[in-house]
Amino acid sequence: MADKLHFSLVSPERELFSGLVDQVDAPGSEGDFGVLANHAPFMTTLREGRVVVHDGGSRRAFDVRGGFADVTPQGLTILAESATEAAA
């Protein structure tokens, strides 16, 4: 079994998602990026766009406005200024 990535998406109102996933694609301020398990650590700001969470054959999507993404050895955390779940 392939390694899983721990992903958390948090807005000022609440945590919208937390769990183990295969991949997360996000709208970085300098371009879109994808994160898999064991990704090199980095931090970036986010622009308005869609975060897509891939797990097996399923996808969930969230519309975000601004914030930060932080990739650490423990996983990916997105602190969004605003986030809502969208249709994948």
Reported as a single tens digit per residue, the pLDDT across 52-74 is: 999 999 999 999 999 999 999 99
Domain boundaries, the chain: 5-86
Q: Is the pTM of this model over 0.75?
A: yes
- Residue 33: what pLDDT? 97
Count CA atoms within 13 Å of residue 38 on its CB side: 2
- Residue 88: what pLDDT? 54
CATH number of 5-86: 2.60.15.10
Which conformational region is residue 12 in: left (phi greater than 0), alpha (psi within -120 to 50 degrees), or beta?
alpha
| Average pLDDT for runs of 10 along the chain of length 88 | 90 96 97 96 97 95 97 97 88
Q: Is 12 helix (H, G, I), strand (E, B) or coil?
A: coil
